[in-house]
Amino acid sequence: MPVYEYTALDVKGKTISGIINAESPRSARQKLRTSKTFPVSIKEVHDTATIKTPKSFSIAGPFARVRPYEISIMTKQLATLVGAGLPLVSAMDALISQIRSPAFKKILAKIKDSIVEGNTFAGSLALFPGTFSSLYVNMVKAGETSGALEIVLERLADITEKQQALKNRIRAAMAYPILMSLIGMLVLFLLLAFIVPNITSIFSDMNQTLPAPTLFLIKTSDIFKTYWWLILISMAGILFTLDRIRKTAKGRYFFDKIKLLFPRFGVLAKKIAVARFARTLGSLLENGVSMLPALEIVKSITDNRLIADAIDEASKAVGKGQALGPALGKSKIFPDLSIQMVQVGEQSGKLEDMLNKIADIFENEVENSIMSMTSILEPVMILIMSVIVGFIVLSICLPIFEMSTLIR
């Protein structure tokens, strides 16, 4: 169905604008008049990147991606409007006029039209799985069922903000080491491929035996000088092959297993996954979602196949009547502290609170671990670069020192 941008006057004569779905401009005008809005201008929005399917919508393209912080802000604003007593459709109308992203604005307009047609808010959100996760949809569904939609929306906004803040802190902490690594590799490549061969060429006319470090440097620089293009193509091919393997089921499982077994980084990845698991499960249980559907939702948002399989096995055990703590402990993946805290939460009847505490603890541990790792990585990288550059300088200087002794 075409999408139209409109400018209109409300019953008080105030100018308003927004977007609306209709079969034709005439239908769009009729829809607006029915809602006691008097159109001034209507213009169709052409978007070739919009793809429709019978059951869901998606808006593709590099500039059409809805960012998590946009969803978080929208959710918080919607919670405020609904909490103030505004009907859901009116609240959506107010939000649509404030959204800057064209893609997000069109998605919200389609959701509003779906609600007007009689669908639930959760059912309308489910039409856009690329924008709203299963966690988001199911929590909204629980909020609609319990009549506490504004509370659920506020918690959703908080969850999104906390997860995004953790990701931003990790990215900020790792940005400098990664940047330094890339720059160091580029400098070494340029040295070995273009600069060192020009310097070592003066040794080819020398009628003396060169030191072993110098011979090694000359051989290495000759390889880089002659086959630098092949080295770059090989590196790109390896990265492409690894990416394709990672997208397969077996490849994803293998990489996820390696990720957990890797020294220090494996512990860090495990803590991040446990924090996400606890935060999400706690929020779902707080909002009335029962244990088994909540575990199914949490499993689908886990970024590790091994942890997802452990949650799946725990879900089956819980379905047979076992407690969550022992069921999670069988996998030997979840840290002992998290298992003990879950068991305490189950015994005290405050599992939701305990899960949120688990998330807080592990999020803090992740942040502290990243800070300590980056503080160690920086001097280690400088040391490695110094050793390599020192070896190059020494390899070049050794023959020169020998020449000076012969001259004497």
What is the tens place of the pLDDT at every residue in 36-64?
Answer: 777 777 777 654 333 333 344 444 444 45
- Quick one: pLDDT at residue 48? 35
Four-way CATH pick for 265-366: 3.20.20.150, 2.160.10.10, 3.30.110.30, 1.20.81.30: 1.20.81.30
Residue 217 — pLDDT band, cuts 50, 70, 90? confident
- Average pLDDT, rounded, for the chain: 79
- Quick one: pLDDT at residue 354? 92
Residue 407 — pLDDT band, cuts 50, 70, 90? low
Tell me the C-alpha distance between 290 and 315, whole Å: 12
Q: Which comes out higher in pLDDT, residue 29 or 236?
A: 236
* β-sheet bridge partners, residue 6: 18, 42
Q: Which comes out higher in pLDDT, residue 29 or 230?
A: 230
Nearest partner of 200 among 398, 59, 53, judged by Cα = 398
Residue 237 — pLDDT band, cuts 50, 70, 90? very high
Tell me the C-alpha distance between 186 and 195, whole Å: 13
pLDDT tens-place string over residues 63-80:
456 787 788 888 888 888
Query: What's the Cα-to-Cα distance from 321 to each of 120, 324, 354, 355, 381, rounded to whole Å?
Result: 33, 9, 21, 20, 52
Top-ranked range on mean pLDDT: pick from 180-194, 213-227, 335-349: 335-349
**pTM of model > 0.95:** no
Q: Would strands 57-59 and 50-52 be described as parallel, antiparallel, or unpaired? A: antiparallel
- Quick one: pLDDT at residue 238? 93
Phi, psi of 88 (to 5 degrees): -60, -45
